[in-house]
């Protein structure tokens, strides 16, 4: 009986210590994600795009390296570049870095998420979830709001002239 009590006491001691020992690992990621939005796609479009803002509230740089979603085969982080006067996009090797204290915006004409192998069209007003993946802080789930095809910014941001042109006068 005596040894059992000692073991119990030892187990309780370990349990009491555990939360402090693991608290740092369980802390939420330091990257804050805001203004996640996407654009409606024409029927049969093979790809879609995702835009968002990343703010690093931590003390170390991190990199957005990709993600996954049920509505597409895979997600790539893309960059735009001029090639002989032609705007092209390609996968950003190594991901997109966000330094401590920095906010990086993924937006039309710049960095963006590419939803490759879109399984269905995206309709204005719907929402879908994406598990973003960061090199250091791991995965985090974000909900994207689908804007109209002509939208150029997240809801609540600058109004899009194309989005207002509903009636085709
Ligand atoms: Cu792209």
| Burial of residue 147 (number of CB atoms within 10 Å: 0-12, 13-18, 19+) | buried
* Rounded CA separation 51/108 (Å): 7
Q: Report how far residue 120's alpha carbon sits from residue 27's, in angstroms, rounded to the nearest whole number.
A: 36
The pLDDT tens digits of the residues spanning 80-90 come to 988 899 989 99
Ligand 1 mean position, distance from CA 25 (Å): 33
pTM equals 0.75
Alpha helices of the chain — where are they, by DSSP H? 2-26, 161-164
Question: What pLDDT score was predicted for residue 165?
Answer: 40
3-class secondary structure, 12: helix
pLDDT in tens, 12-65: 555 554 444 443 333 457 999 999 999 999 988 999 999 999 999 999 999 999
Q: Sign of dihedral through CA atoms 10, 15, 17, 21? A: positive
- Residues 39 and 112: their CA atoms lie apart, in Å, by 12
Residue-level pLDDT at 154: 81
Please indicate whether residue 39 or residue 2 has the higher confidence score (pLDDT): 39
Sign of CA dihedral 70, 74, 78, 82: negative
**Model pLDDT for residues 110-144, shown as the tens digit of each residue:** 999 999 999 999 999 999 999 999 999 999 999 99
Residues with CB under 5 A from ligand 1 (ion): 78, 89, 114
Task: Please give the average per-residue pLDDT across 98-107, as a whole number.
Answer: 97
Residue 43's pLDDT is what? 84
Q: Identify the CA nearest to 82 among candidates 41, 110, 112, 114.
A: 110
Query: How far does the centroid of ligand 1 lie from the alpha carbon of residue 90, in Å?
Result: 6
Question: How far apart are alpha carbons 71 and 16 in whole angstroms?
Answer: 43
Interval 55-72: pLDDT, tens: 999 999 999 999 999 999
Q: Residue 82's pLDDT is what? A: 87
**If you measure from the C-alpha of residue 65 to the centroid of ligand 1, how many angstroms do you get, rounded to a whole number?**
14
* Ligand 1 centroid to residue 9 C-alpha, Å: 58
Predicted confidence at residue 12, as pLDDT, reads 53
CA distances from 125 to 68, 122, 137, 148, 149 (A): 21, 9, 30, 8, 11
Per-residue pLDDT, averaged over 139-166, amounts to 74
Instruction: Enumerate domains of the chain plus CATH numbers.
Output: 31-151 (2.60.40.1890)
Q: To which residue do tokens 């690093």 refer?
A: 56
């Amino acid at each position: 009986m005596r040894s059992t009590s000692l073991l119990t006491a030892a187990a309780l001691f370990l349990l009491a210590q555990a939360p402090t020992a693991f608290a740092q690992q369980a802390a939420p990621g330091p990257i804050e994600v805001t203004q996640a939005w996407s654009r409606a796609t024409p029927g049969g479009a093979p790809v879609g795009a995702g835009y968002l803002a990343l703010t690093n509230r931590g003390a170390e740089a991190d990199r957005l390296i990709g993600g996954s979603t049920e509505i597409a085969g895979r997600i790539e982080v893309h960059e735009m570049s001029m090639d002989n006067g032609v705007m092209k996009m390609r996968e950003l090797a190594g991901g997109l870095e966000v330094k401590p204290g920095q906010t990086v915006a993924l937006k039309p004409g710049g960095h963006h998420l590419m939803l490759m192998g879109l399984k269905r069209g995206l309709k204005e007003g719907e929402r879908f979830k994406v598990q973003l993946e960061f090199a250091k802080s791991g995965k985090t789930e974000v909900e994207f709001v689908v804007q109209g095809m002509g939208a150029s910014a997240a809801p609540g941001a600058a109004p899009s002239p194309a989005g207002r042109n509903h009636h085709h006068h």
